[in-house]
Structure 1
Amino acid sequence: MTDARPLAFELPPLRAISVAIPLFILAVLLQPSVSARTSRRLRLALLVPTAVLGWISPFRWRIEPVEFAITANFRWGIFSPYFLMLAVWFGAMGESERKNELAWLGFDGKAEKKALGVEEGSTGHSTATKEDGNAGLRPRANGTLLAPKPRPVSPLASPALSLVSNSSLNDQLPTPSPSPPVDPVQPPSVVDAPPSSVNVPTLTSRKNATRSYSQRHHPLRILLDAAHLLSAMRMIGYAGGPRARDLPPAPKNDKTFFRDRLLAFYNAHLVSSACLALQVLDRDGILASYLSYILPHDAAVFVSATLARLCIGVSLWVQMKIGFNGFAILFYLLHRGTNAFLDTLQAILPRRWSEELTWRSRFDVREYPALFDNPFSKMGEGGVTKFWSARWHFLFRATFTSLGYKPTLALSKRLGVPKRVAQLLGAFVVFTLSAWMHWQALVSARYNLHPSPAGLAFAAAHSIPLTSIYPPPSTSLSFLDRNGTFVFFLLQPVAVFLESLWVALTRKRVSGWAGKVWTALWVVVLGQAVVGKSWLALGLVHGLPPLHLWSWHRFVLPTCSLAPMPVFMR
């Protein structure tokens, strides 16, 4: 029995993101108002079903028609491993990590400084009394506070716990902190964290003392805090997040933020559309045909393929910027809309009810610096290590750190492995997780992919070559084409090791033009030759219509260039 249904474009149904519900419940259970025992038991009970649901979502629900939507479904499929890892991290998180890694520290310490009674223009000595538990705190020039040196504690005690008390932890709001100093050999997007110099619970308890109990434990506030935790992929402002100085400069105000994010959104779309157009032209042999007018045929084919492979990395880079800037703008508008809604409620509700709505949604532009810190223009500064640990995004940093890097360090310590070797092993594990995420995205996008009668009829009606639609089966590809993702990412720790060896022998960091060339060889040249070639062979741009069938929507409307046939065709 043949499938006679015509091609129909369909987005995944809402149940495709049903994993957000148990993930949100896990985020609620991580709030400090939930007791440790209740939180632990319920989170463990939710761990497995949430992980399974996150894993299967991109396999069960995809953009249709799937045979023409490999490009778009790859972007959707990257979240399958992330949802799984987030479920494991949230579900298995220990109480120490829950109370310390998720503590909200803020950005400049002004609120804490005010809470501690430090006057503007003072000499820097706190006026807080010993009863407040804040004696000896010194404000930095940037407003953050330095705690006095802690007294010696048992080597078995957690460094972070040596600074805290159980009573103050109960008042912490886990809603978004700078990380500790970067080690000379730092793995990608992870940090080996020493204890914070700020007495987190003391400051938070003083700040929360000004709030009423009902405000701190209001159900709506708890839900908003949980939503914030779930959406803060970079964990900026949380105790377990990156340091402010490791991030690009934040916008100065809301107006600058909105303008910069909107411009970056459309600029990234233009670059993305150009890259996809070049990849499609190479796929169909048109680019090589044009280049053959000025180059020998073999050289034209080589240049065409090289440009297409380079565009893989560039297009992925800018498409991540499209997603980040789009969601940042959306969060800003939601913030404004939430406040407008609360203002309306406060105006129409009786006074005894409206008093509960005096708080407002707070949008801090410092929470939304640019996603990347000039990774290519600053490529030589710090080499491959710095490229991945500071220049690239921090989106999966928290999950990679908690599930890969820290357990590797802990196990290595038990086995007596030297710290430097343990750090390199941790980097290897993190890069393995990254390789798996990207590889799995292509697996889910290609899952159960085969020619359908509707697809074949559509291709024949529009004279579209089948080679433009259907990638070759994996079994016909070489080992490198099938596994280029793992080859590329698992070679990056080799570069990290060689750089650490260089630093140890010469006491010099990788920098200058030599550093640029070195980093470009490992990231750009190796990337296009291995992972770029692999992704194109596996069909990353198969299913997109030939360029002469593109409508104006694909060039003008962001993300529409990823839409499968027959959407937005001439």
Structure 2
Amino acid sequence: MPRQYLLEGPTLPPIEIFRFLIPISLQCLFLHPVFPSSFSRPARFLLMPLSLVLSFVTPYKYAIEPRNQGIGVNFVIGIMGAYGVMKCVEWGVARDLLPYTWVGFDEADQNRTDKAQPSAAPAQKARMSVESNGHKDGREDPKEVRRRQREQRREYLEALRRRQAETEGPIQIIRSTLHLLVAMRGQGYEFCGTSTEPFALDHIAFFRRILLEIAWSHPLLVLCAAILLEPPTSRDALLASFLPSLSPSHAHLLGESITGLSMGTAVFAALTLGYSCATLLAFLATKALRALPIPDALLPPPFDPREYPPLFNFAERPQSVAIFWSKQWHSFFSRPFRFLAFDPTQRLFTPFAGRNVGRTVGVLAVFALSSWIHEFGLATSTSTLPPLDLSLLTRWGGSVYFMSQGLAIVCEGAFTALTRRKTGGWVGTVWSSFFIVYCGLYLYRSWMTQGLVREVPPVWYWSWQRVVVPLGCLQPPPIWMNSWPETYAFERAV
């Protein structure tokens, strides 16, 4: 039987893979307040088709080749292509640019906010009044109070943008554009959607915490990868040897449950590890560049750990499916989800169906968009491989999973409407944990069957680098392998 992979190793995609960033970067540039609305809006809209096409086509055209050797990595490339599609549409049709205002973290921190700090004290007071949730005077209409707070907030943001347009030169404009371009979670911007507490300003404490995150996420990922990559036949035999009272069917069911749970945990650990390593590299690179004898205007701004808060917010246990996805998950896509899915569908359905129906459809639209992102990533990563004859549930198991999470949130809303009680406490923890994990089996079966880790080798083929190097356990073959099997992918059919 011929080998399924090239012994000389996979080939990285060419530099043309970043071509889609050119029109998207121009769209981002035209969000800057220095450009008047009469120019910015049509320019961003005219660039949108080019950005859209390039973002959509890029992961189909460029990937690690041969694709069967790097499906997992190519899946990430596809996800970023989908993110490019969402951002180019968002930036192409956006009319209100106030959410893209840099507001910083601390009014007294001149390192980050002097470029946008208005000199008028009333603007600062207005912002403080909004962020303190407003004083509820019983003699005032709450709607009027909220309307006035929104107006005060808009005045504050408009003052920031006017100040930025007046004070920033060409170099600062380019720096601001690059900063917004990579700010997926919007830390320091008005549209920020994260709920995790920022790191303290102390760089030593920040460095220590990043190393701690790497220290626990790396071995956790290695353990989960070892379980995931074990063929089901040998996995079930190992369980039967430890639990001889189990029947073969029960051993297989237990093995499937353990492997499915390992997949969800591996995603959590891999995202944490990748984010922590990238943050550490950004920290070290900024320190190194700022130590060079280069004019400050050409250097990156001083490193601010508050722009890199922890990726996940698990300081408390999840108490509902809604809290898990909106407050505790990574929030990479929270802005496009709201702009492209929740807000427009809610505005469309609320006038004739009511606020509750509008919110319900909005939540389902968010998870439909999330389903598309992941299906797009998987489709692009396997686009050159022969099609598989799969059942409907196996082919679309990823979409089943994400839409089920939306349905769970709708059920929680219905429960609150009927009982006047929110999902929470230990009952909420058991409910949300069971629903997230159990429905994850559909995702696991779909992605594993379609080959997400198709040719990543099991543990007994690993060399020591796969255990030691962060994310090394997921590298495509034949990188860091001590032997080369003829085939093992088909043993993993679920």
Say yes or no: TM over 0.5: yes
Aligned to 1:410: 347
Matches within 5 A, 1:391-410: 391-410=328-347
Aligned to 2:17: 16
What secondary structure, in the 3-state scheme, does the structure 2 residue paired with 1:329 have?
Answer: helix
Matches within 5 A, 1:434-445: 434-445=370-381
Matches within 5 A, 1:474-493: 474-475=388-389, 477-493=390-406
Matches within 5 A, 1:478-517: 478-517=391-430
Aligned to 1:379: 318
Aligned to 1:287: 235
In 2 relative to 1, CA 203–85 (structure 1 residues): closer, same or farther, beyond 3 Å?
closer
Q: In 1, Cα distance between the equivalents of 2:124 and 2:331? A: 34
What secondary structure, in the 3-state scheme, does the structure 2 residue paired with 1:373 have?
Answer: coil
Contact 2:456/2:477 (8 A) holds in 1 = yes
Question: Is 1:240 matched up with 2:210?
Answer: no
Contact 1:8/1:64 (8 A) holds in 2 = no
Question: Is 1:323 matched up with 2:311?
Answer: no
Number of residue pairs the alignment of both structures matches: 466
Q: In 1, Cα distance between the equivalents of 2:135 and 2:157? A: 13
* Amino acid paired to 2:12: L
Aligned to 2:216: 267
In 2 relative to 1, CA 203–83 (structure 1 residues): closer, same or farther, beyond 3 Å?
closer
Matches within 5 A, 1:103-142: 103-111=101-109, 132=120, 134=122, 137=125
Contact 1:275/1:314 (8 A) holds in 2 = yes
* Amino acid paired to 2:257: T
CA offset digits 1:98-154 (Å, max 9, x no partner): 1x1111222233359x98xxxxxxxxxxxx8xxx4728937859x9689999xx9xx
In 2 relative to 1, CA 57–359 (structure 1 residues): closer, same or farther, beyond 3 Å?
closer
Deviation at 1:21, TM superposition (A): 2.2
Report the more deviating stretch, 548-557 or 301-310.
301-310
Unpaired runs of 5+ in structure 2?
483-494
Deviation at 1:161, TM superposition (A): 11
Contact 1:276/1:541 (8 A) holds in 2 = no
CA offset digits 1:251-303 (Å, max 9, x no partner): 352222122123313432221121111111134x2211111212332222222
Contact 1:137/1:145 (8 A) holds in 2 = no
| Alignment TM-score, normalising by the size of structure 2 | 0.85
Aligned to 2:68: 67
Q: What is the aligned-residue RMSD (CA, Å)?
A: 3.4
Aligned to 2:490: none
Aligned to 2:264: 313
Alignment counterpart, residue 303 of structure 2, candidates 348, 360, 363: 363
Deviation at 1:334, TM superposition (A): 3.5
Contact 1:268/1:322 (8 A) holds in 2 = yes
In 2 relative to 1, CA 337–493 (structure 1 residues): closer, same or farther, beyond 3 Å?
same
Aligned to 1:349: none
Contact 2:193/2:335 (8 A) holds in 1 = no
Q: In 2, Cα distance between the equivalents of 1:41 and 1:203? A: 23
* Amino acid paired to 1:279: L
In 2 relative to 1, CA 423–541 (structure 1 residues): closer, same or farther, beyond 3 Å?
same
Deviation at 1:389, TM superposition (A): 0.8
What secondary structure, in the 3-state scheme, does the structure 1 residue paired with 2:369 have?
Answer: helix
Aligned to 1:520: 433
Alignment counterpart, residue 158 of structure 2, candidates 201, 211, 225: 201
Deviation at 1:67, TM superposition (A): 1.5
CA offset digits 1:404-461 (Å, max 9, x no partner): 1111122124x422112111111100000101111111111111114xxxxxxxxxxx
Question: Is 1:37 matched up with 2:25?
Answer: no
What secondary structure, in the 3-state scheme, does the structure 1 residue paired with 2:291 have?
Answer: helix
Question: Is 1:532 matched up with 2:444?
Answer: yes
Deviation at 1:396, TM superposition (A): 0.3
Aligned to 1:462: none
Q: In 1, Cα distance between the equivalents of 2:413 and 2:20? A: 40
Contact 2:198/2:310 (8 A) holds in 1 = yes
Deviation at 1:248, TM superposition (A): 3.2
* Amino acid paired to 1:42: A
Aligned to 2:182: 231
Q: In 1, Cα distance between the equivalents of 2:384 and 2:161? A: 52
* Amino acid paired to 2:383: Y
Question: Is 1:254 matched up with 2:254?
Answer: no
In 2 relative to 1, CA 93–287 (structure 1 residues): closer, same or farther, beyond 3 Å?
same
Q: In 1, Cα distance between the equivalents of 2:65 and 2:81? A: 18
In 2 relative to 1, CA 360–447 (structure 1 residues): closer, same or farther, beyond 3 Å?
closer
In 2 relative to 1, CA 199–369 (structure 1 residues): closer, same or farther, beyond 3 Å?
same
Deviation at 1:232, TM superposition (A): 0.6
CA offset digits 1:490-537 (Å, max 9, x no partner): 122221122112222322221222111110122011112x11121111
Alignment counterpart, residue 455 of structure 2, candidates 534, 543, 546: 543
Question: Is 1:569 matched up with 2:474?
Answer: no
Question: Is 1:332 matched up with 2:269?
Answer: no
In 2 relative to 1, CA 418–301 (structure 1 residues): closer, same or farther, beyond 3 Å?
same
Aligned to 1:167: none
Q: In 1, Cα distance between the equivalents of 2:323 and 2:348? A: 25
Contact 2:198/2:308 (8 A) holds in 1 = no
Structure with bigger helix share is 2
| Alignment TM-score, normalising by the size of structure 1 | 0.74
Alignment counterpart, residue 388 of structure 1, candidates 325, 335, 353: 325
What secondary structure, in the 3-state scheme, does the structure 1 residue paired with 2:476 have?
Answer: coil
